[in-house]
Structure 1
């Protein structure tokens, strides 16, 4: 699936509520594999975080009717102006607040739990958490930030 020219950081929302087998969404940008799940899926991911590897197309393998929406961070990211957020599954969050350490949890999940965060002012950041199953810990996270969560369970992020 070709896309219009995307030159800025964007958010992809992919939904396949009736998928029953392996669902894969890949971009030709640096992000590569955006979704690799079995069964129904609904979630968000960012693309074009780095200017040197922009997405120009997606490859989708799905067993059911699906939708893919691409938009700006402001349009599609979850907003958490207080700096506290809770969710389930994959999400992209604009995290408000003013703190430098976050308490992050993941429960009721058995697969990989991954959290990336980038400070909105400095652009500094990267991988914060990469664990299998449940997780509870404190990590350096300078808010306000743009955060991406990859999870199969419930998760929370807030000031420590």
Structure 2
């Protein structure tokens, strides 16, 4: 599926009421955005890297699905207090002035991944990459854009 030209960082929300393998790929550097068995609902960022723009998506799904694309302001979950929690994949604008955050993941058995980039310096990267439960304190300069990949419940709060 081709999409209108995107010129900046964006967020995609993908929802699928599916019964088998569900895959969402982009032709951007992010590549594989979703690979789940059964139903899925979550958000992922695209076009984070300068000069690397997504122009199309490929969906493999058995069932009805929707794909919504918008700016960070339109689509990201806002957590202006610097605290966020949820279940599953999400993209969050984390406010506040923290320099470190406590991150937890529970009731999940798959890969738990957290990436963060400072909105002021554009510096950041991988904070967590674990299987199953997790609890730890990681450096993060807020305000930040955070992407969580999780199959369980997660929290992020200033440490």
- Alignment partner of 1:74: what SS? helix
Residue of structure 1 in register with 2:68 after alignment: 69
Residue of structure 2 in register with 1:96 after alignment: 95
Residue of structure 2 in register with 1:149 after alignment: 148
Unaligned runs of 5+ in 2: none
Q: CA deviation at 1:53?
A: 1.6
Residue of structure 2 in register with 1:42 after alignment: 41
| Counterpart-to-counterpart distance in 2, 1:128 and 1:8 | 23
1:136 aligns with 2:138: no
| Counterpart-to-counterpart distance in 1, 2:128 and 2:105 | 10
- TM-score norm. by structure 2 comes to 0.99
| Counterpart-to-counterpart distance in 1, 2:154 and 2:98 | 19
Residue of structure 2 in register with 1:107 after alignment: 106
Residue of structure 2 in register with 1:10 after alignment: 10
| Counterpart-to-counterpart distance in 1, 2:37 and 2:19 | 7
Residue of structure 1 in register with 2:27 after alignment: 28
1:52 aligns with 2:43: no
Q: CA deviation at 1:52?
A: 2.5
Q: CA deviation at 1:14?
A: 0.2
| Counterpart-to-counterpart distance in 1, 2:67 and 2:42 | 10
Unaligned runs of 5+ in 1: none
Q: Contact between 1:7 and 1:51, CA under 8 Å: does it hold in 2? A: no
| Counterpart-to-counterpart distance in 2, 1:97 and 1:140 | 14
Aligned residues: 159
1:116 aligns with 2:115: yes
| Counterpart-to-counterpart distance in 1, 2:112 and 2:51 | 27
| Counterpart-to-counterpart distance in 2, 1:73 and 1:82 | 17
Two-structure CA RMSD over aligned residues (Å) = 0.5
**1:51-71: per-residue Cα shift (whole Å, max 9, x none)?**
232100000001100000000
- TM-score norm. by structure 1 comes to 0.98
**1:65-93: per-residue Cα shift (whole Å, max 9, x none)?**
00000000000000000000000000000
Q: Contact between 1:84 and 1:95, CA under 8 Å: does it hold in 2? A: yes
